[in-house]
């Protein structure tokens, strides 16, 4: 075998001689989208399991804190951001 013979070989022929083959690339958005969905579900379950109180208790505590504020919550937002949304 000479150098010119090696140049004529393609990658697939060399791999086949070694009992190997090229790995097919996983194309498309399928794996990425699947990972995103699994991550979102895992995050949601984790948040529900680690929440310090139930949703009803949280809403009640939020309502109590907002009612204790002498100014209406929208006025608080206007003071922080401005009446035109900060523009």
Model pLDDT, residue 24: 76
Model pLDDT, residue 39: 94
As a whole number, the mean pLDDT across the chain is 78
The model's pTM: 0.39
Model pLDDT, residue 13: 82
41 vs 49, residue with greater confidence = 41
Rounded Cα–Cα distance for residues 81 and 87 (Å): 9
Residue 11: which of 24, 23, 26, 22 has the closest Cα? 22
Contact between 68 and 62 (Cβ < 8 Å): no
CA atoms within 13 A on the CB side of 44: 6
């Amino acid at each position: 075998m000479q150098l010119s013979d090696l140049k004529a070989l393609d990658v697939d022929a060399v791999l086949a001689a070694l009992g190997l083959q090229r790995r097919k690339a996983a194309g498309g958005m399928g794996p990425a989208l699947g990972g995103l969905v699994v991550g979102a579900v895992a995050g949601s379950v984790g948040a529900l399991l680690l929440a310090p109180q139930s949703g009803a208790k949280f809403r009640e505590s939020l309502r109590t804190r907002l009612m204790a504020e002498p100014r209406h919550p929208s006025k608080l937002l206007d003071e922080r951001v401005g009446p035109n949304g900060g523009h």
